[in-house]
Amino acid sequence: MIGYLLRRVGWSLFTIWAVVTLTFVIYNVLPEDPARVIAGPQARPADVARIRTQLGLDQPIGVRYVRYMSGLVSFGPPPADAKDDSAWALGPVRIDLGVSYLKRKPVVELLGRALPPTLLVGVLALFVQIAVGAFGGVLAAMRRHSVLDWGTVALTLVGISAPTFLTGLLLQHLLARQLVWFPLDGYGQTSAERLHSAVLPALTLGLFGAAYYTRLVRDEMIGLLKQDYIRTARAKGQREWVVVYKHALRNALMPLVTVVGLSMGGLVGGAIVTEKIFRWPGIGSLSVDAIVERDGPVIMGVVLLFSTVVVLANLLVDLSYAVLDPRVRRS
């Protein structure tokens, strides 16, 4: 088990390194000049050249890569001029993602500010996905070939097909503009306001995933409800909800857990659009701005964070098999 764990952690680290390196190369070989974007279209060539030198963009790509990677994780005390320090320190470990070209703030600071809003929406969206997905799937499976089942299948098809920008705009129009139940956009200042504001982006993201989960649980449940042990449980006189939720649903959740891990990337991708629509100050909004403005350090920081989250989520999914499935634990 320990060997398996070490292998998995090793592969995870390699995956993160590969993603970061690939992103660095792609960003740096594009025929674009971040110094020109920073300076603006009207800046004179001499001024653009000066900015390029200040940012170290006049160095060969290999030098820039080594400089970036060597600064990424370091150990020891902060530099003497701590005012200019752009690293995040965790004890002796220092993580330095550089300084945003355009916002001129340390990337770790920008990510640190953007992460809590994204987590809030992400957790709520995940809750919506799983709750709606599990409930809808079970209901459809129990009433198979009914209007409810067909309606669920049809709705999930729409949910999967509709892009988040469409769902987001419709929800905003309906629930915020017409019915005035939620704020149109923004983050709010108090915890209550933030939770209130998070509902629409979370619904937008959650409904997309929920449609997929509903189908998954439905199909899984249909198969499971035909199993012998379910028939036995019913024969023993157990109530239907006990049979469904205790015996069938628990087993149906196995593939759901796998998909939750794999769908973290999708959740993150959806957040990029959703956060922009609802002016939610999370990682998604930060990413869009960074990509549009070619803010290299922020793009690299976001990719590093996302790849770490996705890789860790998948690692946790693998490990959670052992908890959910006694057969895996025993083996």
Site string for other proteins, 55-74 (x = CB under 8 A): --------------------
Q: Nearest Cα to 258, choosing from 220, 201, 205? A: 220
The answer to whether the beta carbons of residues 214 and 140 sit under 8 Å apart is yes
Report the alpha-carbon distance of residue 256 to residue 262 in Å, rounded.
Answer: 10
Range list of β-strands (E), the chain: 73-75, 87-90, 93-96
Number of residues that bind other proteins (CB under 8 A): 60
Cα maximum dimension of the chain? 85
The answer to whether the beta carbons of residues 216 and 259 sit under 8 Å apart is yes
What's the token pair of residue 265? 């990337």
The answer to whether the beta carbons of residues 185 and 279 sit under 8 Å apart is yes
Write down the least CB distance from residue 212 to other proteins, Å: 21
Write down the least CB distance from residue 67 to other proteins, Å: 18
> Site for other proteins (CB under 8 A): which residue of 85, 289, 318, 325?
289
Report the alpha-carbon distance of residue 86 to residue 111 in Å, rounded.
Answer: 12
Write down the least CB distance from residue 117 to other proteins, Å: 10
Choose one: 29-37, 194-202, 210-218, 223-231; the region binding other proteins (CB under 8 A).
29-37
Check residue 148 for interaction with other proteins (CB under 8 A): yes
The answer to whether the beta carbons of residues 272 and 287 sit under 8 Å apart is yes
The answer to whether the beta carbons of residues 148 and 214 sit under 8 Å apart is no
Write down the least CB distance from residue 101 to other proteins, Å: 9
Check residue 80 for interaction with other proteins (CB under 8 A): no
Write down the least CB distance from residue 102 to other proteins, Å: 5
Site string for other proteins, 243-272 (x = CB under 8 A): ------------------------------
Check residue 104 for interaction with other proteins (CB under 8 A): yes
CA-to-CA separations, 264 to 122, 168, 289, 317, in angstroms, rounded: 9, 19, 21, 11
Q: Indicate the residue among 146 and 232 with the shorter CB distance to other proteins.
A: 146
Check residue 331 for interaction with other proteins (CB under 8 A): no
Contact positions vs other proteins (CB under 8 A): 30-34, 36-51, 54, 83-84, 99, 102-105, 110, 113, 143, 146-148, 151, 169-170, 172-174, 176-181, 184-187, 276-277, 279, 281, 285-286, 289, 292, 294
